[in-house]
Chains A and B, each alone.
Chain A
Amino acid sequence: MRIIVSNSSPVPIYEQIKKAIMDQIMNDELKENEPLPSIRALARDIKISVMTIKKAYDELESEGYIKVVQGKGTFVSPKNPDLALENAQKEIEKHLEEALNIASRYDISKEDLKELIDILGGEA
Chain B
Amino acid sequence: MDAINVKDLVKEYRNFTLGNLNVTIPSGYIVGLIGENGAGKTTFIKCLLEIIKPTKGTIKLLGQDIKDAKEDIGVVLDDMFFPEILQVKDISAVMKGIYQKWDEELFFKYLKDFNLDPNKIIKTLSKGMHKKLEIATALAHHPKLLILDEPTEGLDPVVRSEVLDIFLNFIQDEEHSVLLSTHITSDLEHIADCIIFIADGKILMEKDRDELLDNYGILKVNVDEIDKIAKEDIIACLKHRYDYEILVSEKDKISKKYPNYIVDKITLEELMVLMIKGERQC
Contacts and interface: CB of A to CB of B under 8 A. Distances in A.
B171 interface: yes
A93 B140 CA distance: 54
A51 B164 contact: no
Contacts of A50: 28-30, 171, 193
Interface residues of A, number: 18
Given A47-B190, A48-B190, A50-B193, A101 B259 contact: yes
Interface in A22-54: 40-41, 43-44, 47-52
Pick from A12, A43, A49 the residue with the most CB of B within 10 Å. Answer: A49
B172 interface: yes
Interface in B194-233: 194, 208-210, 213-214
Contacts of A40: 171-172, 174
A51 B173 CA distance: 14
Contacts of A47: 164-165, 168, 190-191
Interface in A5-19: 7, 10, 12-14
Contacts of A44: 165, 168-169, 172
B192 interface: yes
B258 to A, nearest CB: 12
A48 B174 CA distance: 16
A44 B172 CA distance: 8
A47 B115 CA distance: 23
A105 interface: yes
A91 to B, nearest CB: 16
B269 to A, nearest CB: 14
Nearest to A104: B259
B192 A49 contact: yes
B67 interface: no
Interface string B153-193: 00000000000110011011010000000000000001111
A55 interface: yes
A49 B30 contact: yes
A50 B172 CA distance: 9
B265 interface: yes
A13 B29 CA distance: 18
Interface in B113-169: 164-165, 168-169
A2 to B, nearest CB: 19
Contact of B172 (A41, A48, A49): A41
Pick from A14, A48, A51, A105 the residue with the most CB of B within 10 Å. Answer: A51
A34 B200 CA distance: 51
A10 B172 CA distance: 29
Given A44-B168, A44-B169, A49 B259 contact: no
B234 to A, nearest CB: 21
Nearest to B192: A49
Given A40-B174, A49-B191, A51-B194, 10 more contacts: A41-B172, A43-B171, A44-B169, A48-B191, A50-B28, A50-B193, A52-B210, A55-B210, A101-B259, A105-B260
Interface of B: 28-30, 164-165, 168-169, 171-172, 174, 190-194, 208-210, 213-214, 256, 259-260, 265
